[in-house]
Structure 1
Amino acid sequence: MVELTVEERQRLVTVLASIPVLATESGRAEILTLAGLGELVPHMDVTGPPLVAASRIVTHLSTYGRISRDQEALGRLLNLASTLTGREQQDFMAALLLEHRMMVPVSPSRPVSSWRGPDSPGGIEEKIITSNTLRPVHFLEQALTAARSVCHVEVRKGARGWTGTGFLVGDDLLLTNEHVLPSQDLLTGTRFLFNYEDDSAGRPKPVESVSPLDGGYFLADRSLDFTLVQLAGRPAERWGRLILADSPPQVGERVNIIQHPGGQPKQIALQSNFVEYLDDTVIQYVTATLPGSSGSPVLSDDWQVCAVHHAGGDLREPSTGNRYFRNEGFRTCQILKQLPSDLRARLS
């Protein structure tokens, strides 16, 4: 717990309230998340005018206590907030951090004018935060774990053939698009290839081909463009499985797509993948996909599947009828509703 004096608290609240990005509720949540305090945001009241919200935030964090042995929750916020202010405010917050042993202050930044060129835009001196692209390093470990359960789907029918992507959602259950695998009679000519990817040196890894289970589950739904198929040998014991999310990311948040674009070895789209539309049935987002990506998992940042990717291009937004160049997936919550109860139980 941090026990500020009345004067320290008043000045700190005033300084925080003057930071432009903290003028809005969304900006406050963003800064708290950037400070590594995202798990506390749902339990805080960050609404109201800047002075009121800043006071509530300081009260909550100062009474919360330590995030780790060497860091107070309030210290995390002050260390980040100091980078968004002038030198005088930086010195004040650094003094608070040291006086109350909250954590070691960050190194103060140099004034922008010391490196700004004469032709730089006038607004360059102001710090602007648009979207948080910082992630903990273990985010990459989680991505690799999630990627293991994604496979290349190769379908052959006579002289014809096509490819897509699928992923394990149960011990032996795989989800893909209906337009990738529309009928059960195609299973005899279908291969599910796991580990179809390159290693860190760019060399192909050994691929495992898994067969469908004879007489196993097969459910195809054209309206939501999904197929659920049962594979032989419980492949999730080797490759893991993905969890279907109860709730989706919101508009403006990111999604990640693990896929086999163009029938190529496994790839992942991580960066500028923003959700632009959401309703009860579909999610529309901007990201990089190609033919062959159909059936890929659309994953939230906690690596749960919120949708199954099925289309991209000049798409109609359902609520407005307007057309946008986007990608689209059907939400997993709607897919789950279409499954028999015994299958739903196997995915829990």
Structure 2
Amino acid sequence: MNHDKIERLAGELLSGTIPDCLPDELNAAVSHVGSLLASSSGPDVEQVRRALGALNNDRLFLPARTLAESWNAKLGFDLVVERRLVQALIEMDDLDYAQERLKDAIESAKTMDSQLAKIELGEYQGQQGRIAKQRFVRSNDPDELARAIEHYAARYRANGRPYFHGINVVALVAAQERLDPSLRPPRGLRLPALARAVLVDVKKRISSGEDSPWPLATASEAFLALNRCDDAELWLHRFLLHPQTHPFHIEAYSRQLREIWLGNALRNTTCADRLSSIIDRHVMRTQKRWSMSPKMLKTAQVDPQSLERNFSGERTFTVAMIKRMLEKCASIGCVTDPNGRRFGTGFLVAASALGIGPETELVFVTNSHVISDTVKDAIPPANAWVTFELESTAKGELVPHKVVPEVLFTSPPGEPGITAEDRLDVTVVKLASWPEGGIALRTNDSLPTPSRKTKVFVVGHPSGDALQLSLHDSELLDVCDHDRLLHYRTPTEPGSSGSPVFNTNWEVVALHHAGSSAMPRLRGKGQYEANEGISIRSIRGSAIASRLQR
């Protein structure tokens, strides 16, 4: 890569701005910053803190982790750097490691006599609450819920009653009351008084000129707790329309509604359902995607009319299209490590579709930067598991399937926009067991003709708990001369790596592997905003050639 460009990108990152570049270029910029640490010309701690804040706010958690760990290795413990690292680990669902680091960070902060140490110690207490909350979401364990309340309440009481910890206590106490109505929280933490206190606080902050979207979301959630849904909806709209509200903020409130308040945008019977539906429609309009949580999947299965109620009248896609898409979800899985940390997506096809086995044999396809023994940061096959959302939803618990360590075919990643036939970013494996209801997705070697009317769709597992469906703004932009790479406008998030790319007949035509707002064009000079997939045709041809060479 061009050294001058990487230096420029690193400079932008250190200023607190995410540079407009390809993922590999961002990783190179992060590595360059890491190489300068501890040198006389290296960045100072404030620059690194800004960079980590920008990466986390843009949900780029893996580069944030890389940079923070580089700082720790070369310069040791820093209060803010450690908080940013723990935040990234929690968002990546690496809860055990996050807890381990938090324990050490709290001990270190207690030995420091500074105002910053006192502030960050409080932040660490809040992160302890977040970890316990996520463990409760995973397991529905009432002890984890009680621990989450304890941590958030300690932070709320200790340092000026910060509203963002107070509203978490409100939501978790409401969840506790649902689980066991006989439980009484400690005095000062009881509903609805606590919700009213938080609401008074955020209204004062808004009146005093605090220009942040968070108080608006907090006011909406407080009104939700007070069963004043019209007011909750009003403040939700204010939050969504705030000029500083970004996808990170929206996803945070959406997850709180789904996971703690049990909001279900398809069910539409509770206030949390209603607010979730508003957020879903806003995201569809503004971010061109739609996410379906496990509870929504179950609702769609039990009550197919819920799709009619929610999507009738939509001009950009039809209820019939959604139903056909849902049929495919049983064969789309999420790749995790043994601790449940998500690495990406993959899907089932017949071995014959790739020329590596009979039609009756299933194989699992994903990116080599997701599963590989040789690609940096990929999960080794021996440590990889796959869960299928539809199967887990039907059984009411996660059902992990072990990846068989022997790889059937793999090809390393290449540079986006470059059509090297030996760098297809694909790994094909078998699973030790197969999901109930999982079948081979139909594939098609024929690629659609690019035009404004030609659509492709991506279904995958981004960060979070939901299957994400990219159904809007899904124009097929271009296909390379070798029919190897496809570029499309379909929006995706980190975690979508390894997703199937479908044509309008819901046949898999490509494997999604990268996206950027600065993707090199397949023809001519210049860049554009696009995602990139590797065609099933090229994967099949390379897999067959590899078998013949053995």
| Bucket of the pairwise TM-score, normalised by the shorter protein | 0.5 to 0.7
Q: For residues 45-194 of structure 1, what are the structure 2 equivalents within 5 Å?
A: 137-155=319-337, 163-170=343-350, 171-183=361-373, 186-194=380-388
Distance 2:535 2:343 in 1: 22
- Structure 2 contact 497–514 (Cα < 8 Å) conserved: yes
Amino acid at match of 2:432: A
Distance 1:258 1:343 in 2: 30
Q: Are residues 1:309 and 2:512 paired?
A: yes
Structure (1 or 2) with the larger CA radius of gyration? 1
- CA-based RMSD of the aligned residues comes to 3.2
Distance 2:542 2:435 in 1: 23
Sequence identity, in percent? Answer: 28
Greater fraction of residues in strand = 1
- Structure 1 contact 178–225 (Cα < 8 Å) conserved: yes
- Structure 2 contact 369–412 (Cα < 8 Å) conserved: no
Q: Are residues 1:259 and 2:441 paired?
A: no
- Structure 1 contact 195–206 (Cα < 8 Å) conserved: no
TM-score using structure 1 length: 0.53
- Hey, what does 2:478 align to over in structure 1? 277
Partner residue of 2:447 out of 238, 248, 252: 248
Partner residue of 2:403 out of 201, 212, 226: 212
Partner residue of 2:503 out of 291, 297, 300: 300
Deviations 1:17-48 (A, max 9, x none): xxxxxxxxxxxxxxxxxxxxxxxxxxxxxxxx
Gap runs ≥5 in structure 1: 1-131
Bigger Cα displacement from structure 2, 292-301 vs 219-228: 219-228
User: Cα distance, 1:339 vs. partner?
Assistant: 1.1
Distance 2:466 2:547 in 1: 30
Distance 1:137 1:160 in 2: 33
Amino acid at match of 1:195: E
Greater relative CO, 1 or 2 (CA 8 Å, sep 6+): 1
- Hey, what does 1:8 align to over in structure 2? none
Deviations 1:36-85 (A, max 9, x none): xxxxxxxxxxxxxxxxxxxxxxxxxxxxxxxxxxxxxxxxxxxxxxxxxx
Amino acid at match of 2:383: G
Amino acid at match of 1:269: S
Distance 2:466 2:395 in 1: 8
Aligned partner of residue 328 in structure 2, secondary structure? helix
Distance 1:273 1:316 in 2: 18
Deviations 1:98-141 (A, max 9, x none): xxxxxxxxxxxxxxxxxxxxxxxxxxxxxxxxxx9576643322
Gap runs ≥5 in structure 2: 1-313, 351-360, 414-422
Q: For residues 222-233 of structure 1, what are the structure 2 equivalents within 5 Å?
A: 222=413, 223-233=423-433
User: Cα distance, 1:155 vs. partner?
Assistant: 3.7
